[in-house]
Protein backbone atom coordinates (compact mmCIF):
# COMPACT_ATOMS: atom_id res chain seq x y z
CA UNK A 1 0.00 0.00 0.00
CA UNK A 2 1.16 3.52 -0.69
CA UNK A 3 2.32 5.18 2.51
CA UNK A 4 2.45 8.92 3.05
CA UNK A 5 1.70 11.02 6.11
CA UNK A 6 5.41 11.03 6.83
CA UNK A 7 6.46 13.25 9.75
CA UNK A 8 9.78 12.39 11.38
CA UNK A 9 10.11 12.16 15.16
CA UNK A 10 11.80 15.17 16.83
CA UNK A 11 15.00 14.19 18.68
CA UNK A 12 13.67 15.09 22.13
CA UNK A 13 10.76 12.68 21.80
CA UNK A 14 12.76 9.78 20.39
CA UNK A 15 14.76 9.79 23.63
CA UNK A 16 11.52 9.79 25.61
CA UNK A 17 10.12 6.91 23.54
CA UNK A 18 13.17 4.79 24.30
CA UNK A 19 13.38 5.82 27.95
CA UNK A 20 9.69 5.03 28.45
CA UNK A 21 10.34 1.32 27.93
CA UNK A 22 13.74 1.45 29.67
CA UNK A 23 15.67 0.69 26.51
CA UNK A 24 19.07 0.93 28.14
CA UNK A 25 21.19 -1.43 30.21
CA UNK A 26 22.24 -5.05 29.88
CA UNK A 27 18.65 -6.39 29.80
CA UNK A 28 18.35 -5.15 26.18
CA UNK A 29 21.19 -7.40 24.97
CA UNK A 30 20.08 -10.27 22.76
CA UNK A 31 16.57 -8.79 22.42
CA UNK A 32 14.89 -7.98 19.11
CA UNK A 33 14.15 -4.30 18.39
CA UNK A 34 11.85 -3.05 15.63
CA UNK A 35 10.84 0.30 14.21
CA UNK A 36 8.14 -0.40 11.64
CA UNK A 37 7.99 2.97 9.95
CA UNK A 38 11.54 4.10 10.47
CA UNK A 39 11.85 7.05 8.10
CA UNK A 40 15.44 8.28 8.15
CA UNK A 41 16.24 6.05 11.12
CA UNK A 42 16.32 8.51 13.99
CA UNK A 43 14.89 6.11 16.55
CA UNK A 44 16.80 3.13 15.18
CA UNK A 45 20.08 5.04 15.29
CA UNK A 46 19.66 5.99 18.92
CA UNK A 47 18.62 2.42 19.82
CA UNK A 48 21.66 1.00 17.98
CA UNK A 49 23.95 3.48 19.71
CA UNK A 50 22.60 2.47 23.13
CA UNK A 51 22.93 -1.20 22.27
CA UNK A 52 26.55 -0.89 21.14
CA UNK A 53 27.56 1.10 24.23
CA UNK A 54 25.94 -1.48 26.50
CA UNK A 55 27.48 -4.42 24.62
CA UNK A 56 30.96 -2.88 24.84
CA UNK A 57 30.48 -2.23 28.55
CA UNK A 58 29.48 -5.88 29.05
CA UNK A 59 32.57 -7.10 27.19
CA UNK A 60 31.00 -8.22 23.92
CA UNK A 61 33.41 -8.78 21.04
CA UNK A 62 33.05 -6.81 17.82
CA UNK A 63 32.03 -10.02 16.07
CA UNK A 64 29.21 -10.59 18.56
CA UNK A 65 28.05 -6.97 18.33
CA UNK A 66 27.97 -7.13 14.52
CA UNK A 67 25.99 -10.38 14.71
CA UNK A 68 23.46 -8.79 17.05
CA UNK A 69 23.07 -5.66 14.94
CA UNK A 70 22.41 -7.74 11.83
CA UNK A 71 19.93 -10.09 13.49
CA UNK A 72 18.25 -8.17 16.30
CA UNK A 73 17.40 -4.84 14.66
CA UNK A 74 14.55 -4.71 12.17
CA UNK A 75 13.21 -1.71 10.30
CA UNK A 76 10.55 -1.06 7.68
CA UNK A 77 10.36 1.99 5.44
CA UNK A 78 8.44 2.21 2.18
CA UNK A 79 9.83 5.52 0.94
CA UNK A 80 13.04 4.91 -1.02
CA UNK A 81 14.68 8.25 -0.20
CA UNK A 82 14.06 7.87 3.53
CA UNK A 83 15.12 4.20 3.40
CA UNK A 84 18.49 5.03 1.84
CA UNK A 85 19.05 7.86 4.30
CA UNK A 86 18.27 5.49 7.16
CA UNK A 87 20.99 3.09 5.98
CA UNK A 88 23.50 5.93 5.68
CA UNK A 89 22.69 7.15 9.17
CA UNK A 90 23.03 3.66 10.66
CA UNK A 91 26.36 3.10 8.93
CA UNK A 92 27.57 6.42 10.26
CA UNK A 93 26.76 5.26 13.80
CA UNK A 94 28.69 1.99 13.58
CA UNK A 95 31.72 3.77 12.11
CA UNK A 96 31.90 5.81 15.31
CA UNK A 97 32.58 2.52 17.12
CA UNK A 98 35.06 1.22 14.54
CA UNK A 99 32.71 -1.53 13.36
CA UNK A 100 32.74 -2.79 9.80
CA UNK A 101 29.80 -2.29 7.43
CA UNK A 102 26.69 -4.06 8.71
CA UNK A 103 24.28 -6.09 6.61
CA UNK A 104 21.27 -4.31 8.09
CA UNK A 105 17.87 -5.99 8.30
CA UNK A 106 16.10 -2.84 7.13
CA UNK A 107 13.44 -3.54 4.53
CA UNK A 108 12.04 -1.21 1.90
CA UNK A 109 8.62 -2.77 2.31
CA UNK A 110 5.17 -1.97 3.61
CA UNK A 111 5.05 -3.20 7.20
CA UNK A 112 1.32 -3.84 6.97
CA UNK A 113 1.77 -6.19 4.01
CA UNK A 114 4.79 -8.02 5.40
CA UNK A 115 4.61 -11.45 6.98
CA UNK A 116 6.49 -11.39 10.28
CA UNK A 117 7.28 -14.82 11.68
CA UNK A 118 9.15 -13.87 14.84
CA UNK A 119 8.03 -12.18 18.02
CA UNK A 120 9.52 -8.77 18.84
CA UNK A 121 10.81 -7.71 22.25
CA UNK A 122 10.82 -3.94 21.66
CA UNK A 123 8.74 -1.92 19.21
CA UNK A 124 9.27 1.82 19.23
CA UNK A 125 7.93 4.24 16.71
CA UNK A 126 5.86 7.02 15.27
CA UNK A 127 3.46 5.47 12.75
CA UNK A 128 2.18 7.43 9.76
CA UNK A 129 -1.05 9.30 10.49
CA UNK A 130 -3.31 9.30 7.44
CA UNK A 131 -6.94 10.30 7.79
CA UNK A 132 -9.59 8.09 6.24
CA UNK A 133 -10.55 10.72 3.67
CA UNK A 134 -6.97 10.72 2.35
CA UNK A 135 -6.75 6.93 1.91
CA UNK A 136 -7.33 5.38 -1.50
CA UNK A 137 -10.31 3.07 -1.90
CA UNK A 138 -7.90 0.17 -2.39
CA UNK A 139 -6.18 0.91 0.93
CA UNK A 140 -9.48 1.30 2.74
CA UNK A 141 -10.67 -2.10 1.55
CA UNK A 142 -7.40 -3.83 2.48
CA UNK A 143 -7.33 -2.34 5.97
CA UNK A 144 -10.98 -3.11 6.60
CA UNK A 145 -10.55 -6.73 5.52
CA UNK A 146 -7.36 -7.37 7.48
CA UNK A 147 -7.50 -5.37 10.70
CA UNK A 148 -10.09 -5.47 13.45
CA UNK A 149 -9.32 -1.84 14.33
CA UNK A 150 -10.31 -0.75 10.82
CA UNK A 151 -13.57 -2.63 10.39
CA UNK A 152 -15.87 0.24 11.27
CA UNK A 153 -16.20 3.84 10.19
CA UNK A 154 -13.55 6.36 9.26
CA UNK A 155 -10.43 4.82 10.76
CA UNK A 156 -6.94 6.30 10.55
CA UNK A 157 -4.09 4.49 8.80
CA UNK A 158 -2.11 4.39 12.04
CA UNK A 159 -4.76 2.13 13.65
CA UNK A 160 -3.48 -0.83 11.65
CA UNK A 161 0.14 -0.11 12.65
CA UNK A 162 -0.79 -0.11 16.32
CA UNK A 163 -2.84 -3.30 16.04
CA UNK A 164 -0.20 -5.25 14.14
CA UNK A 165 2.56 -4.05 16.46
CA UNK A 166 0.69 -5.36 19.50
CA UNK A 167 0.04 -8.64 17.68
CA UNK A 168 3.73 -9.32 16.95
CA UNK A 169 5.01 -8.33 20.39
CA UNK A 170 6.63 -11.11 22.37
CA UNK A 171 3.98 -12.43 24.79
CA UNK A 172 6.57 -12.90 27.54
CA UNK A 173 8.83 -9.88 27.14
CA UNK A 174 7.22 -7.53 24.63
CA UNK A 175 7.41 -3.78 25.30
CA UNK A 176 6.17 -1.06 23.02
CA UNK A 177 6.17 2.74 23.05
CA UNK A 178 4.34 4.54 20.29
CA UNK A 179 3.69 8.18 19.49
CA UNK A 180 0.02 8.33 18.50
CA UNK A 181 -2.70 10.94 17.89
CA UNK A 182 -4.60 11.58 21.13
CA UNK A 183 -7.88 11.51 19.21
CA UNK A 184 -7.64 7.71 19.36
CA UNK A 185 -8.81 7.85 22.98
CA UNK A 186 -12.10 9.55 22.15
CA UNK A 187 -12.82 9.13 18.44
CA UNK A 188 -15.87 6.88 18.00
CA UNK A 189 -14.12 5.07 15.14
CA UNK A 190 -11.26 4.13 17.48
CA UNK A 191 -13.44 1.97 19.71
CA UNK A 192 -12.12 -1.36 18.38
CA UNK A 193 -8.53 -0.17 18.66
CA UNK A 194 -9.07 0.94 22.25
CA UNK A 195 -10.35 -2.56 23.06
CA UNK A 196 -7.22 -4.06 21.51
CA UNK A 197 -4.85 -1.77 23.44
CA UNK A 198 -6.55 -1.71 26.82
CA UNK A 199 -5.51 -5.10 28.30
CA UNK A 200 -1.80 -4.38 27.75
CA UNK A 201 -1.75 -0.62 28.29
CA UNK A 202 0.59 0.41 31.10
CA UNK A 203 1.06 4.19 30.78
CA UNK A 204 -0.31 7.07 28.72
CA UNK A 205 1.68 10.30 28.41
CA UNK A 206 -0.69 12.94 27.06
CA UNK A 207 0.91 16.09 25.61
CA UNK A 208 -2.48 17.74 24.97
CA UNK A 209 -1.88 20.97 22.99
CA UNK A 210 1.92 20.88 23.38
CA UNK A 211 3.26 20.85 19.82
CA UNK A 212 5.29 17.67 19.51
CA UNK A 213 5.70 18.18 15.77
CA UNK A 214 6.64 21.83 15.01
CA UNK A 215 4.78 21.99 11.69
CA UNK A 216 1.82 19.85 12.70
CA UNK A 217 -0.95 20.69 15.15
CA UNK A 218 -2.01 17.09 15.88
CA UNK A 219 -2.48 16.52 19.60
CA UNK A 220 -0.17 13.66 20.53
CA UNK A 221 0.37 11.06 23.26
CA UNK A 222 2.88 8.33 23.97
CA UNK A 223 1.41 4.96 24.90
CA UNK A 224 3.46 2.33 26.70
CA UNK A 225 2.29 -1.23 26.15
CA UNK A 226 3.59 -4.28 27.99
CA UNK A 227 2.42 -7.55 26.44
CA UNK A 228 3.46 -9.86 29.28
CA UNK A 229 1.25 -8.37 31.99
CA UNK A 230 -2.46 -7.59 31.93
CA UNK A 231 -3.16 -4.88 34.48
CA UNK A 232 -6.40 -3.71 36.10
CA UNK A 233 -5.12 -0.13 36.16
CA UNK A 234 -3.05 2.23 34.05
CA UNK A 235 -1.26 5.49 34.79
CA UNK A 236 -2.33 8.58 32.87
CA UNK A 237 0.19 11.45 32.78
CA UNK A 238 -1.04 14.91 31.84
CA UNK A 239 2.32 16.30 30.72
CA UNK A 240 1.15 19.88 30.22
CA UNK A 241 -0.26 20.19 33.74
CA UNK A 242 2.32 17.90 35.39
CA UNK A 243 -0.38 15.61 36.76
CA UNK A 244 -0.67 11.83 37.11
CA UNK A 245 -3.87 9.86 37.62
CA UNK A 246 -4.24 6.14 38.18
CA UNK A 247 -7.18 4.92 36.10
CA UNK A 248 -9.17 1.75 36.71
CA UNK A 249 -9.43 0.17 33.28
CA UNK A 250 -13.03 -0.94 33.78
CA UNK A 251 -14.00 2.73 33.92
CA UNK A 252 -12.73 3.14 30.33
CA UNK A 253 -15.14 0.63 28.81
CA UNK A 254 -17.10 3.33 27.06
CA UNK A 255 -17.35 5.05 23.70
CA UNK A 256 -14.77 7.54 24.95
CA UNK A 257 -11.90 7.24 27.35
CA UNK A 258 -12.28 9.92 30.02
CA UNK A 259 -9.16 10.39 32.11
CA UNK A 260 -10.34 11.55 35.52
CA UNK A 261 -10.03 10.31 39.09
CA UNK A 262 -13.45 11.77 39.92
CA UNK A 263 -15.83 10.05 37.54
CA UNK A 264 -19.38 9.82 38.91
CA UNK A 265 -21.51 6.75 38.36
CA UNK A 266 -24.06 7.39 35.62
CA UNK A 267 -26.79 5.40 37.35
CA UNK A 268 -27.83 7.77 40.11
CA UNK A 269 -27.25 11.35 39.03
CA UNK A 270 -29.27 13.98 37.22
CA UNK A 271 -27.67 15.00 33.94
CA UNK A 272 -27.94 18.20 31.96
CA UNK A 273 -30.03 16.32 29.40
CA UNK A 274 -32.66 15.73 32.11
CA UNK A 275 -33.49 19.43 32.25
CA UNK A 276 -33.11 20.49 28.62
CA UNK A 277 -33.08 19.31 25.01
CA UNK A 278 -29.63 19.40 23.39
CA UNK A 279 -29.43 18.82 19.66
CA UNK A 280 -27.17 19.26 16.69
CA UNK A 281 -28.14 22.19 14.50
CA UNK A 282 -30.12 21.71 11.31
CA UNK A 283 -28.40 19.64 8.63
CA UNK A 284 -29.47 20.75 5.15
CA UNK A 285 -26.72 18.66 3.51
CA UNK A 286 -26.42 21.45 0.94
CA UNK A 287 -25.78 24.69 2.83
CA UNK A 288 -24.70 26.66 -0.21
CA UNK A 289 -28.25 26.37 -1.53
CA UNK A 290 -30.24 26.82 1.68
CA UNK A 291 -28.04 29.38 3.47
CA UNK A 292 -28.49 32.81 1.88
CA UNK A 293 -25.49 35.04 2.53
CA UNK A 294 -25.74 37.59 -0.28
CA UNK A 295 -29.15 38.96 -1.12
CA UNK A 296 -30.92 42.19 -2.03
CA UNK A 297 -33.92 43.35 -0.02
CA UNK A 298 -36.58 44.15 -2.65
CA UNK A 299 -39.64 45.04 -0.55
CA UNK A 300 -41.64 43.75 2.40
CA UNK A 301 -42.41 40.50 0.56
CA UNK A 302 -39.31 39.51 -1.41
CA UNK A 303 -35.54 39.34 -1.52
CA UNK A 304 -33.45 38.78 -4.62
CA UNK A 305 -30.66 36.21 -4.92
CA UNK A 306 -28.60 36.36 -8.10
CA UNK A 307 -31.57 37.97 -9.82
CA UNK A 308 -34.09 35.39 -8.57
CA UNK A 309 -36.84 36.38 -6.15
CA UNK A 310 -37.61 34.44 -2.97
CA UNK A 311 -40.53 35.03 -0.63
CA UNK A 312 -39.49 36.46 2.74
CA UNK A 313 -42.00 34.18 4.45
CA UNK A 314 -39.90 31.24 3.26
CA UNK A 315 -36.83 32.64 5.01
CA UNK A 316 -35.71 32.73 8.62
CA UNK A 317 -32.67 34.30 10.25
CA UNK A 318 -29.77 31.83 10.22
CA UNK A 319 -27.01 31.66 12.82
CA UNK A 320 -23.71 30.01 13.57
CA UNK A 321 -21.15 30.98 16.19
CA UNK A 322 -19.06 32.41 13.37
CA UNK A 323 -21.90 34.48 11.88
CA UNK A 324 -22.61 36.00 15.29
CA UNK A 325 -18.94 36.72 15.95
CA UNK A 326 -18.59 38.58 12.65
CA UNK A 327 -22.08 40.11 12.76
CA UNK A 328 -23.18 38.48 9.50
CA UNK A 329 -26.78 38.90 8.41
CA UNK A 330 -27.62 35.49 6.97
CA UNK A 331 -30.91 33.85 6.04
CA UNK A 332 -31.94 30.24 5.57
CA UNK A 333 -34.67 28.79 3.38
CA UNK A 334 -37.05 27.14 5.84
CA UNK A 335 -39.46 24.86 3.94
CA UNK A 336 -41.54 23.97 7.00
CA UNK A 337 -44.27 25.38 9.21
CA UNK A 338 -45.27 24.90 12.83
CA UNK A 339 -48.78 24.49 14.21
CA UNK A 340 -50.04 23.81 17.73
CA UNK A 341 -49.29 20.14 17.04
CA UNK A 342 -45.67 20.85 16.16
CA UNK A 343 -43.73 20.55 12.91
CA UNK A 344 -45.83 20.68 9.75
CA UNK A 345 -44.56 19.69 6.30
CA UNK A 346 -45.72 20.95 2.93
CA UNK A 347 -46.62 18.55 0.19
CA UNK A 348 -45.13 19.36 -3.20
CA UNK A 349 -48.28 21.03 -4.53
CA UNK A 350 -48.83 23.24 -1.49
CA UNK A 351 -45.18 24.21 -1.31
CA UNK A 352 -45.21 25.20 -4.99
CA UNK A 353 -48.41 27.21 -4.71
CA UNK A 354 -47.44 28.92 -1.43
CA UNK A 355 -43.89 29.81 -2.45
CA UNK A 356 -43.71 29.84 -6.27
CA UNK A 357 -40.53 31.94 -6.38
CA UNK A 358 -38.78 29.90 -3.71
CA UNK A 359 -39.86 26.71 -5.46
CA UNK A 360 -38.38 27.97 -8.73
CA UNK A 361 -35.11 28.86 -6.99
CA UNK A 362 -34.79 25.40 -5.47
CA UNK A 363 -35.68 23.76 -8.80
CA UNK A 364 -32.54 25.37 -10.18
CA UNK A 365 -30.58 23.09 -7.82
CA UNK A 366 -32.84 20.04 -8.21
CA UNK A 367 -30.12 17.65 -9.38
CA UNK A 368 -27.84 18.43 -6.46
CA UNK A 369 -30.72 18.33 -4.00
CA UNK A 370 -31.77 14.91 -5.30
CA UNK A 371 -28.23 13.57 -4.95
CA UNK A 372 -28.06 14.19 -1.20
CA UNK A 373 -28.13 11.25 1.19
CA UNK A 374 -31.32 12.45 2.88
CA UNK A 375 -33.70 10.90 5.41
CA UNK A 376 -36.07 8.39 3.90
CA UNK A 377 -39.17 10.55 4.41
CA UNK A 378 -37.59 13.89 3.44
CA UNK A 379 -38.72 15.59 0.25
CA UNK A 380 -36.29 16.97 -2.30
CA UNK A 381 -36.85 20.59 -1.20
CA UNK A 382 -36.45 19.84 2.52
CA UNK A 383 -33.36 19.50 4.69
CA UNK A 384 -31.36 16.31 4.50
CA UNK A 385 -31.94 15.56 8.20
CA UNK A 386 -35.07 16.43 10.16
CA UNK A 387 -34.17 15.39 13.71
CA UNK A 388 -33.08 18.88 14.78
CA UNK A 389 -36.41 20.41 13.74
CA UNK A 390 -38.46 18.84 16.52
CA UNK A 391 -37.70 21.45 19.21
CA UNK A 392 -36.16 24.25 17.20
CA UNK A 393 -39.21 26.53 17.17
CA UNK A 394 -38.54 27.78 20.70
CA UNK A 395 -36.15 30.25 22.37
CA UNK A 396 -32.76 28.56 22.52
CA UNK A 397 -29.06 28.76 23.17
CA UNK A 398 -26.44 28.25 20.48
CA UNK A 399 -22.98 26.83 21.15
CA UNK A 400 -20.11 25.94 18.89
CA UNK A 401 -19.01 22.30 18.76
CA UNK A 402 -15.40 23.55 18.92
CA UNK A 403 -14.26 25.32 22.09
CA UNK A 404 -11.03 27.26 22.55
CA UNK A 405 -10.17 28.26 26.14
CA UNK A 406 -13.73 29.34 27.01
CA UNK A 407 -17.34 28.51 26.14
CA UNK A 408 -19.33 31.11 24.23
CA UNK A 409 -23.11 30.92 24.55
CA UNK A 410 -25.53 32.83 22.30
CA UNK A 411 -29.23 33.43 22.87
CA UNK A 412 -31.47 32.92 19.84
CA UNK A 413 -35.13 33.75 19.33
CA UNK A 414 -37.91 31.26 18.72
CA UNK A 415 -37.80 31.81 14.94
CA UNK A 416 -34.00 31.77 14.56
CA UNK A 417 -32.42 28.71 12.93
CA UNK A 418 -28.95 27.51 14.01
CA UNK A 419 -27.08 25.76 11.18
CA UNK A 420 -23.79 25.00 12.90
CA UNK A 421 -22.90 23.70 16.36
CA UNK A 422 -25.47 22.71 19.00
CA UNK A 423 -28.65 24.29 20.26
CA UNK A 424 -30.28 23.91 23.68
CA UNK A 425 -33.94 24.32 24.63
CA UNK A 426 -34.81 24.18 28.36
CA UNK A 427 -37.50 21.90 29.75
CA UNK A 428 -40.09 23.44 32.04
CA UNK A 429 -39.77 24.84 34.66
CA UNK A 430 -36.25 25.80 33.66
CA UNK A 431 -35.46 28.82 31.52
CA UNK A 432 -32.71 29.98 29.18
CA UNK A 433 -30.88 31.76 32.00
CA UNK A 434 -30.71 28.59 34.11
CA UNK A 435 -29.10 26.62 31.31
CA UNK A 436 -26.75 29.47 30.39
CA UNK A 437 -25.59 29.68 34.00
CA UNK A 438 -24.75 25.96 34.01
CA UNK A 439 -22.90 26.09 30.69
CA UNK A 440 -20.81 29.05 31.86
CA UNK A 441 -19.95 27.53 35.24
CA UNK A 442 -16.33 26.52 35.97
CA UNK A 443 -17.57 23.05 36.95
CA UNK A 444 -19.05 22.52 33.50
CA UNK A 445 -15.89 23.77 31.80
CA UNK A 446 -13.67 21.47 33.86
CA UNK A 447 -15.93 18.53 33.09
CA UNK A 448 -16.35 19.12 29.38
CA UNK A 449 -12.67 19.68 28.63
CA UNK A 450 -11.86 16.12 29.73
CA UNK A 451 -14.11 14.87 26.92
CA UNK A 452 -13.04 16.89 23.88
CA UNK A 453 -10.97 15.76 20.92
CA UNK A 454 -8.11 18.12 20.08
CA UNK A 455 -8.49 19.66 16.63
CA UNK A 456 -5.92 22.45 16.57
CA UNK A 457 -3.69 23.65 19.37
CA UNK A 458 -5.88 24.37 22.39
CA UNK A 459 -9.16 23.91 20.49
CA UNK A 460 -11.32 20.91 21.38
CA UNK A 461 -14.21 19.38 19.45
CA UNK A 462 -17.24 17.98 21.27
CA UNK A 463 -20.32 15.92 20.53
CA UNK A 464 -23.85 16.52 21.73
CA UNK A 465 -23.49 13.59 24.13
CA UNK A 466 -20.53 15.26 25.82
CA UNK A 467 -22.84 18.11 26.83
CA UNK A 468 -25.80 15.91 27.69
CA UNK A 469 -23.82 13.83 30.18
CA UNK A 470 -22.84 16.66 32.56
CA UNK A 471 -23.80 15.67 36.17
CA UNK A 472 -25.66 18.57 37.77
CA UNK A 473 -24.51 17.60 41.26
CA UNK A 474 -21.01 18.79 40.31
CA UNK A 475 -22.27 22.38 40.41
CA UNK A 476 -21.05 24.25 43.47
CA UNK A 477 -21.70 27.41 45.46
CA UNK A 478 -24.22 29.86 43.99
CA UNK A 479 -24.69 27.82 40.83
CA UNK A 480 -26.28 24.95 42.70
CA UNK A 481 -28.33 27.21 45.00
CA UNK A 482 -30.13 28.69 42.01
CA UNK A 483 -31.20 25.23 40.85
CA UNK A 484 -31.82 23.38 44.10
CA UNK A 485 -35.52 24.29 44.26
CA UNK A 486 -36.13 22.30 41.10
CA UNK A 487 -34.80 19.01 42.51
pLDDT at 418 over 80: yes
Which among 63, 64, 66, 60 is positioned nearest to 102, based on CA atoms? Answer: 66
pLDDT for position 485 = 57
CB-CB contact of 324 with 413 (8 Å): no
Q: Average the pLDDT over 459-472 and give the result.
A: 91
Q: What's the half-sphere exposure (Cβ side, CA atoms, 13 Å) at 52?
A: 21
Looking at 282-291, 310-319, 362-371, 442-451, which range is the least confident one?
A: 442-451
* Per-residue pLDDT at 340: 86
Of the ranges 49-63, 412-426, 456-470, which one carries the lowest mean pLDDT score? 456-470
* pLDDT at residue 453, as a whole number: 87
In this structure, the chain runs to a length of 487
pLDDT in tens, 159-183: 999 999 999 999 999 999 999 999 8
Crossing angle of the two packed helices 80-96 and 42-57, in degrees rounded to 10: 20
- Mean of all residue pLDDT scores within the chain: 91
The CA dihedral of 21, 187, 165, 237, to the nearest 10 degrees, is: 0
Our CA dihedral for 188, 190, 192, 197, rounded to 10 degrees, sits at -140
Section 405-412 average pLDDT: 94
Share of the chain above pLDDT 70, in %: 93
What residue ranges do the domains of the chain occupy? 11-252, 276-486
pLDDT reported for residue 215: 64
Give me the pLDDT at residue 2, please: 39
pLDDT, mean of residues 373-389: 93
Mean pLDDT, residues 1-25 taken together: 77
In this prediction, residue 398 carries a pLDDT of 98
Taking residues 265-291, report their average pLDDT. 89
- Confidence check: pLDDT of 382 > 50: yes
**C-alpha to C-alpha distance for 413 and 390, rounded to whole angstroms:** 16
Residue 425 exposure: Cα atoms within 13 Å on the Cβ side: 18
pLDDT at residue 1, as a whole number: 42
| Tens-digit pLDDT profile for residues 205-251 | 998 877 776 666 678 899 999 998 888 999 999 988 899 999 999 88
Phi, psi of 477 (to 5 degrees): 55, -135
| Cα distance between residue 301 and residue 178, in whole Å | 62
CA angle (153, 281, 397) in 5-degree steps: 135
Mean pLDDT along residues 397-421: 95
Instruction: List, for residues 68-117, the tens digit of each pLDDT value.
Output: 999 999 999 999 999 999 999 999 999 999 998 899 999 999 999 999 99
- pLDDT higher than 80, residue 416: yes
**How far is Cα 36 from Cα 15, in angstroms, rounded to an integer?**
17
CA distance 325 to 316: 19
pLDDT band for position 266 (50/70/90)? low
pLDDT classification of 3: cutoffs 50, 70, 90: very low
| CATH code for the structural domain at 11-252 | 3.40.50.150
Does residue 4 surpass a pLDDT of 90? Answer: no
Indicate the burial class of 138 (C-beta count within 10 angstroms; 0-12, 13-18, 19 or more): exposed
Position 256 scores a pLDDT of: 87
pLDDT for the residue 267:
56
Amino acid sequence: MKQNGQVFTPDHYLYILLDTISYEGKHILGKVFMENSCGDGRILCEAVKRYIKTAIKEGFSKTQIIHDLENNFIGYELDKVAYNKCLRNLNSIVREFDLKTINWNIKQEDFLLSEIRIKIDYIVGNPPYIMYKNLSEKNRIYLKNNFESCQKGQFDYCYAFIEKSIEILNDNSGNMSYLIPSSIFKNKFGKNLRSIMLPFLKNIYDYKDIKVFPKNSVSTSIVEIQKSIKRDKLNYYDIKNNKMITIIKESLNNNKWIFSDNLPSEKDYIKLSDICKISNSVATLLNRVFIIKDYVDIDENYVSIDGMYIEKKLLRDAYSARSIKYNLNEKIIFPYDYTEKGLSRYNDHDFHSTFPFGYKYLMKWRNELDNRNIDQNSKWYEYGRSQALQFINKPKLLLSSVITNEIHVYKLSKEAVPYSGFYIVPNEPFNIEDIEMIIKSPEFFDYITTRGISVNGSSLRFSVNDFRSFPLHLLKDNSKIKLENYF
